[in-house]
Amino acid sequence: MNDCLFCKIISGELPAYIVYEDELVLGFLDIQPVNPGHVLIAPKVHFADMLDIDEKYLCAIGEAIPKVARKVLEAVGAKDFNVGVNNGELAGQLIPHLHFHIMPRFEGDGHQLFKGKEVSSNDLRDLAAKL
């Protein structure tokens, strides 16, 4: 996709702070980090989201995440991190090229996780039956 920001980073057309690269995956610093060391891991081929991606690339991302996370944690002096994927516009996906976030966490960093909602066991049972 010619107009995709991440495809342009992957092709070298746009600059990025690249921190990881293998045959299938590129890792680079998020320019609007939630914390220092916030890295994006993206497939080198354009896939819109988790429903679109080729399994081979997803496996490569799964292998890259712990490798990159170990380096990030050491570099920024953190021991914990979140891995996140925003899948689609309502989920907060800003760039429509699948990417995983590695976000180091620090005591009192103010980064909020979503809270679960109360739900009845009947609703859980009904939903589980649909799945």
Q: With binding defined as CB under 5 A, does residue 7 bind Zn ion?
A: yes
Of the candidates 35, 38, 30, 44, the residue with the CA atom closest to the CA atom of residue 94: 30
Min dist. Cβ of residue 7 to Zn ion (A):
3
Q: Which helix (H) or strand (E) holds 25?
A: strand 25-29
What is the Cα–Cα distance from 106 to 45, expressed in whole angstroms? 33
What is the Cα–Cα distance from 24 to 75, expressed in whole angstroms? 24
Q: With binding defined as CB under 5 A, does residue 25 bind Zn ion?
A: no
Out of 16, 37, 97, 98, the residue judged to bind Zn ion by CB under 5 A = 97
Which of these ranges, 5-13, 32-40, 86-94, 113-121, lies near Zn ion under the rule CB under 5 A?
5-13
Q: With binding defined as CB under 5 A, does residue 105 bind Zn ion?
A: no
| 46 given a catalytic annotation | no
- Amino acid identity at 22: D
Out of 18, 33, 44, 46, the residue judged to bind Zn ion by CB under 5 A = 46
Which of these ranges, 12-20, 46-54, 77-85, 104-112, lies near Zn ion under the rule CB under 5 A?
46-54
Number of residues forming the site for Zn ion (CB under 5 A): 6
Q: With binding defined as CB under 5 A, does residue 19 bind Zn ion?
A: no
What is the Cα–Cα distance from 36 to 33, expressed in whole angstroms? 6
Which residue carries 């998020």 as its tokens? 30
Residues 53-82 that bind Zn ion (CB under 5 A): none
What is the Cα–Cα distance from 60 to 75, expressed in whole angstroms? 23
Contact 118, 27 (CB under 8 A): no
Active site members:
99
Q: Which residues bind Zn ion (CB under 5 A)?
A: 1, 4, 6-7, 46, 97
